[in-house]
A and B are shown apart, each in its own frame.
Chain A
Amino acid sequence: MKNNKTARSYLVNTLVIAAAFILFQVLTGLFGSEGDFKLVLVPSLWQCCYLILLAASLNLVLGFLGQLSLGHCGFMAIGAYTAALISLACERAGVFTDKAGLVYILIIFGCIIAAGLLAAVTGLLVGIPALRLKGDYLAIITLGFGMIIVNVINNLPFCGQDGLSQGSAAASLYKTGLGFGSKAKVTYLWIALVVTILCLTLMFMFVRSKYGRAIRAIKDDEIAASASGINVSSYKVLTFTYSAFFAGVAGALYACANSSLSTSSFAFTNAGILNSTFVVVMVVLGGMGSLTGSIVAAVIMFFVNYQIANGSWVAALPPFLNGVFKYPMLVYAVVLVIVIIFRPRGIFGTYEFSLTRLPEDVKKARARRAAAKAERKEAVSHG
């Protein structure tokens, strides 16, 4: 009975998303695929896809398990480089010559899966020792991991050659077969969407499963969890590994969507959109313990970031304010502080948005508001 309901909910939500995608394709087909659509909307969708995956995967560790990890972009870097290197190897071996056809698409999917797997293996190796620590100590060790991985990639001989970057000198991804141009991004948009939806489904299944209940129990009380027969440390490592897998997949999407790859874009000191603090801001903004919240927050933060970087209104600001936006980190810090003060639970808290549950939730929210109103009225009438 309950399982049927969950299955129906998955089905309905997926169908609606698929319908929205088809509608989107039809509309863009009707109104042409040049100009803003090709140059702005589609690249933005690609970027949103990997940000959503990044935020949702960190939410597993930060929101559901309750452990602060500051090295999440390190896993993304591993994913991005893995995908690029595999694709490069295939290109050199002549598995594909032109960027089209079934073989090419299979290789892209292969790259994405391999990226996730290698990131997961790294997550396992880092998680086993690191998750013995808690709180600040875990934050510092994962922060260190994020920095180390950047240096390791910089110094790997095969990452520095032929099309992949050495240090901050970015090099073209196009040669590797990834790094889609604006036309390929339009053609292969479905890959990003399918991968994102598939990964989100897997994450939803994880948090709703027996394992999901166990990690929420661990977040609440580790002693009580171990007294209930839950193997606390192995569940922690499992969640960390699972989360690293999706960060790796996000990295592979990044390698598809960008023209160049540079380790500095994953570094903790990176002032742009891809540093681990930014990911933490997305998770906190969306609500720790709500995957749908992470999706919404990733889109909002993408939009904020896009506006700061490209908005014409920023340039029109007086020089003093304009200067502030040269340091986006400052803006994100302010966003984080505002969220913590006014809505510490984030936008969604632990609420999960679902189309099948929507009517029910709206009814409940209305009832709550009516009750609060009645209470206020009563308080007024009692003076």
Chain B
Amino acid sequence: MLEIKDLNVFYGAIHAIKGISLSVGDGELVSLIGANGAGKTTTLHAISGLIPVASGSISLAGEDLRKVAPNKIISMGLAHVPEGRHVFARMTVEENLRMGAYVIRDQKLIAKNLDMVYAHFPRLKERRRQMAGTLSGGEQQMLATGRALMTDPKILLMDEPSMGLSPLLVKEIFSIIENLHKTGITILLVEQNAKMALAVADRAYVLETGQISMSGKAKDLAEDDRVRKAYLGA
């Protein structure tokens, strides 16, 4: 579904992403783990066109994403849940979700997708008239995810969904991610919480200072000594 080859990204003179290649297959949940500053968020931003790419190719279902304007990428079935729970604080929950479907014109489709999102997140339905700014951190993360789902995307990019949440909420968010995956949505998940990320993923890549140092089945990586030492604290 998503295919990245030899991706290079520079921030001024700094070579942030040094020729990484990765792929996400149909219906797969792939995790990208690594420490602070390894280039995880940068990789996601490069995929959704938010930052310029120096060289390499990014293709979604065979189409070259580098040639598509960032605001058109969402119409191609790629949705991005940005890091740090960006919600429209002064809009209600339902208005937030409707903004997520901004590129869709068909009202019936919007209503259908809204029902689908409410089915995934009953909590959002309870609070649909509430201002998004008054939601708790976990609910805001759900809302950001729900908003991305409003276009019924083929692939979902999730950036640090566990950031700043209590351990209990982290568990809840990850169980939601697992459920989404079970319904057939392809997910590329970026996480610092390597333990949880490896527990839910099919496959994973380990990113270190802009390069992929290891990759393989999530289960194998979770048992790998180097990964355990570096990321799992064992």
Instruction: Mark A residues whose CB is within 8 Å of B.
Output: 210, 213-214, 216-217, 220-221, 223-231
Contact = CB atoms under 8 A, between A and B. Distances in A.
Interface residues of B, number: 28
8 contacts: A216-B90, A226-B50, A227-B74, A227-B82, A227-B86, A227-B148, A229-B75, A229-B102
B71 A230 contact: yes
Interface string B35-73: 000000000000010100000000000000000011111
A344 B5 CA distance: 52
B100 interface: yes
B70 A220 contact: no
A229 B147 CA distance: 11
A223 B148 CA distance: 13
Given A216-B88, A221-B88, A228-B100, 12 more contacts: A217-B102, A220-B90, A221-B87, A224-B86, A224-B99, A225-B99, A227-B48, A227-B86, A228-B74, A228-B103, A229-B102, A231-B70
Contacts of B75: 229
B74 A224 contact: no
B141 interface: no
Contact of B86 (A213, A221, A229): A221
B82 A224 contact: yes
Nearest to B86: A224
Nearest to A229: B74
A228 B74 CA distance: 7
Contacts of B151: 229
Contacts, number: 64
Given A229-B71, A229-B151, A220 B89 contact: yes
B91 A216 contact: yes
B81 interface: yes
A216 B92 CA distance: 12
Interface string B181-194: 00000000000000
A217 B91 contact: yes
Interface in B109-147: 144, 147
A225 B95 CA distance: 12
Contacts of A231: 69-71
Nearest to B84: A223
B132 to A, nearest CB: 9
Contacts of A214: 99, 102
B80 interface: yes
Contact of B91 (A220, A226, A229, A230): A220
A230 B102 contact: yes
Given A228-B147, A229-B71, A229-B75, A223 B102 contact: no
B220 to A, nearest CB: 33
A228 to B, nearest CB: 5
Nearest to A224: B86
B80 A227 contact: yes
B146 to A, nearest CB: 12
A221 B90 CA distance: 10
Contacts of B82: 223-224, 227
A346 to B, nearest CB: 15
Contacts of A213: 95, 99, 102
B49 to A, nearest CB: 9
A227 B96 CA distance: 12
Contacts of B89: 220-221
Contacts of A229: 71-75, 102-103, 151
Nearest to A214: B102
Given A223-B82, A223-B86, A228 B102 contact: yes
Q: Which one of B81, B82, B102, B103 has the highest number of Cβ atoms from chain A below 10 Å of its Cβ?
A: B102
A325 B124 CA distance: 55
A225 B88 CA distance: 8
Contacts of B50: 226
Nearest to B159: A227
B69 A217 contact: no
Nearest to B157: A227
B88 A217 contact: yes
Contacts of A210: 102
B99 A228 contact: yes
Q: Which one of B79, B86, B100 has the highest number of Cβ atoms from chain A below 10 Å of its Cβ?
A: B86
Contacts of A224: 82, 86-88, 99, 144, 147
A86 to B, nearest CB: 38
Nearest to B151: A229
B114 to A, nearest CB: 14
A344 to B, nearest CB: 14
A220 B69 contact: no
